[in-house]
Structure 1
Amino acid sequence: MILTQCAVCATDLGLSLGKKCGRCSTRYCGPECQVQHWKEGGHDQLCKKIKRSGGAEQYNANKKYTEAVTRAAEACADDTKGQTCYICTQALHWKTKEGLVRGCSCRGTAGFAHVSCLAEQVKILVAEAEENNFLGSDKFVPRWARWYTCSLCEQDYHTVVRCALGWACWKTYLGRPETDKLRRTAMNLLGGGLYSAEHHADAASVMEAELSMMRRIGGSDNSDIFVAQTNLASTYQALGRLDQAMCLRREAYAGGLKLFGEEDNNVLSAANNYAKSLLTLKRSEEAKALLRKTMPVARRVLREEHRITLKMRWNYALALCCDPSATLDDVSEGVSTLEDAGRIARRVLGGAHPTTEGIENALRDAGAALAAREGDCVTSVCEAVAAVNLLDGS
């Protein structure tokens, strides 16, 4: 996570509280912890090294990035065996000695790369955008998207690969002022990467710091706040902080409608996330009503194969199955919806994508329960799908 806690006692300091080491900017809640860290915690040996690395935040980001790249390469080792990077054409990176990854929807021999090669490519593209004053134009968006989207299959990276790229992005831009657009967006990308890799506690720490910063510098009616609220709510959901998640999602969805309108991708994603919170709190009628209103918009604007549309249909199917008043026809419709969404997800995203796996797991459990217990279909399906995580639309 980014450094928002005392290095000794882990007291939460937010982005501005506490005291910093005058040399390397390591953060403490007060002078007592700072003295203890110097005398007993080994800071006297590390202080100069941290300063040479660019300060405590940079030192921490560099270390976390290296760890994340190692984890990503290890997780992808079986899939990448015998392959080479499509950027540098080497199996082992010549400088970092890191292994290959592939965390997108590429198949066959396509899409294998080193995280550092992917990062260098996008850094060059973003630097060119800055030099040509593209940051406020549509030309900037596809360049920045390379931090989280594969240029070959045009699908988002996921899990440990996305996490490694999140740390690569954050360590690149963290030294800039809080008001700098790239620094703010890098913090957002890091939080999303940690979430994708299921490091939810660390993701919450980053996202809480981001939302606090947005509210301090961005005003009360700001699109950045909308995004930060949406992401933090998803993390609260994953941590089991369900009421907090639902309140944030309701607030984000309402604010997004005013800012962008019902056809915006982010608003549709927020609607799906809000529906998920309602489902988790067993408010299935409200979830169904919301999804019946927003699913037709998603299918028209984003098309059937978009991840948000697929996830809306997934959540709608589960709302049908888990409603205590559901009829056999309702449950059958839910199973049919999962079958159709699963076919589309496998064709577009591939069988290894988390969305495809989640839909197929839900289908397998719901279908088996329905076939075995037609006489008590609602109870059996609810029990079966209770262990399946409802996926966010982000």
Structure 2
Amino acid sequence: MILTQCAVCATELGTGGKRCGRCSTRYCGPACQKQHWEAGGHDKLCKMIKKGGGAEEYHAEKKYKEAVAVAAEKYADDTKGQTCFICTQALHWKTKEGLVRGCSCRGTAGVVHVSCLVEQAKILVAEGEENNLDYEAMQPRWDRWTQCSLCEQSYHSVVRCALGWACWKTFVGRPEMDPTRQLALCLLGKGLSAGGHYEDALVVQEAELATGRRVGTSENANHMLTVKSNLAKTYQSLDRSEEALSLRQEVYSRTLKLHGKEHGRTLQAASNYVSSLIGLKRFQQAKKLLRKSIPAARRVLGESNQITLHLRCNYAQSLCCNAAATLPELREAVTTFEDVERIARRVLGGAHPFTTGVEDSLRKLRDALTTRETPSGSA
């Protein structure tokens, strides 16, 4: 996580507390700082942490290396005998790390070192900043922190987590209000969530939201809406469903007013809001919004867009998760899941978490439908 707690007692510090004058390690007060120096080993680490750029940079570098190791281990069998599509080597020449794959490429395509992806992204962003490119021109360069340059789909799972730490460690040294640093913090939170580190993601995202409010960023700003949306997703993952619903309702309402009902941001917000409604069994509300959102997504984004696919999955769930669902509704849900699964497998690949999640839902729903269709007492 980013350093928001005392290094000794883990007290939340916010913007207060003390810092080591040499390396900026944070403490709640003099007593913890003294204890850390005398008995916690900080006297031996302080110079090393300063050499690494300071407490935040040192911590980010350490977490990045850990995340890369986890990712390489996960994909070791899948990438055995293959080489990186960027450097063409099996082992990274400098770090000696193994290969990963975490996008939607098939076969031997997309196999890569995380460090090679990081260097590629750093170079592209640095070139853009040097040439003073505007937001629209910079966006494809920033996408390299999250998306594969071959299949143009987002990285997921542990690879996304490693890239989040990489982006944060690259830009953490910039001033707090630097837009690049803010974006890096956002990508770190999303990466932690993608890697299943929800408690750590929560710390990052709450700190990000608090910073935005402290410096007076408008609640209607796209950045603040993105922060709230990411935070709501983490709340949902931590079973804090009511908090997630409240945030998602706010984000959808504000986004609708800002961009209109057929904008991609609005449709994404609708998908998130509907997901929370279904989780809390508010099926009628969910269906009402889905009837407006799905046709718009199909028309504006296309059948293969992930937002469209998510909305259609939400619709299927609004049918089959209802205890009062009729047989025709269950059959319609199966048909919807089957079509979404077919498209997801083609666009994202069979190993993508979204595809595997749809397959799992479809398998359970087919079993439930078979049970409902089998006459009572028959073999």
TMscore range, shorter length: over 0.9
Q: Which residue of 1 aligns with 2:163?
A: 165
Between the two proteins, the alignment pairs up a number of residues equal to 375
In the aligned structure 1, how far is the partner of 2:4 from the partner of 2:315? 38
Q: For residue 254 of structure 2, what is the aligned residue in structure 1?
A: 255
Corresponding residue number in structure 2 for 1:286? 285
What's the TM-score, normalizing by structure 1? 0.93
Q: CA deviation at 1:213?
A: 1.2
Determine helix, strand or coil for the equivalent of 1:138.
Answer: helix
Residue 199 of structure 1: aligned partner: 197
The Cα shift of 1:265 comes to 2.1
Q: Deviations over 1:19-77 (max 9, x none)?
A: 11111111111111111111111111111110111100000000000000000000111
Aligned counterparts of 2:375 and 2:180: Cα–Cα separation in 1: 54
* Structure 2: gaps (5+ residues): none
Counterparts of 2:68 and 2:291 in 1: how far apart (Å)?
Answer: 41
Aligned to 1:142: 140
CA distance in 2, matches of 1:376, 1:9: 62
- The whole-number CA distance in structure 2 between the counterparts of 1:210 and 1:242 is 21
Partner SS, residue 373 of structure 1: helix
Residues in 2 aligned to 1:156 and 1:220: alpha-carbon distance in whole angstroms? 27
RMSD (CA atoms): 1.3
1:347 equivalent to 2:353? Answer no
Indicate yes or no: 2:91 matched with 1:61: no
Q: Which residue of 2 aligns with 1:209?
A: 207
| Residue 307 of structure 2 is aligned to residue 334 of structure 1 | no
- Displacement of 1:163 in angstroms is 0.6
* 1:376 CA displacement: 9.8
Tell me the SS of whatever aligns to 1:133. coil
How far 1:326 moved relative to its partner? 2.2
Contact 1:163 / 1:197 at 8 angstroms: preserved in 2? yes
Q: 1:12 maps to which residue?
A: 12
- 1:136-156 deviation digits (Å, cap 9, x = unpaired): 331111010010000001110
- Segments ≥4 residues shifted beyond 6 Å: none
SS in structure 1 of the partner of residue 78 of structure 2: helix
C-alpha displacement at 1:325, in angstroms? 3.2
Q: Deviations over 1:174-196 (max 9, x none)?
A: 11112111100000001111111
Q: How big is each residue's C-alpha offset from its partner over 1:311-357, in whole Å with a ceiling of 9 and x where there is no partner?
A: 11111101111223322111111111001101110111110001100
Shift of 1:375: 6.9
Contact 1:307 1:355 in 2 (8 A): no
The alpha-carbon deviation at position 18 of structure 1 amounts to 1.2
In terms of mean alpha carbon deviation, does 150-159 or 315-324 score higher? 315-324
CA distance in 2, matches of 1:187, 1:220: 18
Alignment of 1:97-112 (within 5 A): 97-112=96-111
Partner SS state of residue 309, structure 1: helix
User: 1:33 aligns to what?
Assistant: 32
> How far apart are the structure 2 equivalents of 1:238 and 1:354?
15
1:100 CA displacement:
0.6
State, as a whole percentage, how many aligned pairs show the same letter.
62
Note the C-alpha offset of 1:284: 1.1
1:57-136 map, 5 Å: 57-134=56-133, 136=134
C-alpha distance in structure 2 between counterparts of 1:307 and 1:17, whole Å:
41
- Report the alpha carbon displacement of residue 11 of structure 1 after superposing the two structures with TM: 1.0
Q: For residues 349 and 219 of structure 2, what CA distance do their matches in structure 1 show?
A: 40
> What CA distance in whole angstroms lies between the structure 2 residues aligned with 1:220 and 1:160?
31
State the SS of the aligned residue for 1:79: coil
Separation of aligned partners in 1, 2:127 and 2:235 = 37
Q: How big is the shift at 1:13?
A: 1.5
Closer, same or farther: CA 162–220 of 1 in aligned 2, 3 Å:
same
Residues 162-311 of structure 1 aligned to structure 2 (within 5 Å): 162-217=160-215, 218-311=217-310
What code does the residue aligned with 1:192 have? K
Note closer, same or farther for the CA distance 1:270–1:376 as it changes in structure 2 (3 Å cut). Answer: farther
Task: For 1:199, give the aligned amino acid.
Answer: H
Match of residue 154 from structure 1: 152
1:40 & 1:261 partners in 2: Cα distance? 58
Question: In structure 2, how many angstroms separate the alpha carbons of the residues matched to 1:174 and 1:264?
Answer: 32
- 210-219 vs 66-75, greater mean Cα deviation: 210-219
Q: Is the 8 A contact 2:219 2:225 kept in 1?
A: no
1:139 aligns to what SS in structure 2? helix
Partners of 2:51 and 2:358 in 1: CA distance: 48
Opposite residue 262 of structure 1, the aligned amino acid is K
SS at match of 2:136: coil
- Worse-superposed segment, 257-266 or 148-157: 257-266
Match of residue 22 from structure 1? 21
Give, in whole Å, the separation in 1 of the partners of 2:98 and 2:8: 34
CA–CA separation in structure 2 for the residues paired with 1:372 and 1:208: 45
How far residue 220 of structure 1 moved from its aligned partner, in angstroms, is 2.8
Partner Cα separation in structure 2 for residue 232 and residue 189 of structure 1: 12
Residues 249 and 274 in structure 1, CA contact (< 8 A), matched pair in contact too: yes
* Inter-CA distance 21–315: structure 2 relative to 1 (3 Å threshold): same
Give unmatched runs, 5+ long, in structure 1.
378-394
Q: CA deviation at 1:227?
A: 0.2
Q: Which deviates the most, 325-334 or 17-26?
A: 325-334
Per-residue CA distance 1:145-174 (angstroms, 9 max, x = gap): 010000001110000001111111000001
